[in-house]
Amino acid sequence: MEITEALKTTGSIREYTNEQVGDEVLFDILDTARFAPSGGNRQAWKVIVVKDSTQRQKIRDIYLDAWHDYISHILAGLIPFSPLASNEDRRAALAQRSAAEAISKPDGYPETLQDVPVMMVICADLEVLAALDRDLDRYKIVGGASLYPFVWNLLLAGRAHDLGGVMTTVGIKNEKQLMEVLQIPSSFAVAAIVTMGHPVKRHTKLTRRRVEDFTTIDTFNGEVFKN
């Protein structure tokens, strides 16, 4: 597949067929994805391929609990877990927790996470990350630049095998439990859960904002950059 087409048509896929993904295919995906860029080429990622059914069920339970909190925010009319949320926003979301649980779907992605063909937990080695915003008095984000290109490479490499996948960070709300279940050292953080499989349906017409909607010249409020 031509690279521009792959970039424009690789959407998030959460529904998979029952067809399994062989270890040789998954190894090839990881072998391709490892060429992602990272700060200082330190390659701060650690991948845990979760196969054990008991481990998967534990992760599903941890994830589903966080998912209900995520939906609680939506029901309260909020951006889920916004870094700029107020205490009032947090209380409003908490008040919707029971409602979020009530609309849970038995066959939904969070509810059936344990059954995905491929489950990978991506961890970040904090000892080698160059987080240049570490000491700034705001939400920290820069360290992810050394992790998420690798995750995106996983999804693109999976596409080469006609697989679909998704990167999700919902479960990280309950990171402590994830780290206990997966025996992750305290010098690491959980960066994402990636699931993958043969898609039930592939979405190729993705909806995104126009370049003109997010690009300006010289300053934040500068002239809109147009073609």
Percent of the chain with pLDDT over 70: 100
**In this structure, are residues 160 and 1 in contact, taking their beta carbons and an 8 Å threshold?**
yes
pTM of the model: 0.94
pLDDT tens for residues 73-88? Answer: 999 999 999 999 999 9
C-alpha span between 68 and 25 (Å, rounded): 33
Kindly list the structural domains of the chain, giving each domain's residue range(s) and its CATH number in brackets, ordered by start. 3-213 (3.40.109.10)
pLDDT at 202: 82
Q: Which token pair is 59? A: 């992760």
Q: Which token pair is 156? A: 């693109």
* Residues 159-178, mean pLDDT to the nearest whole number: 97
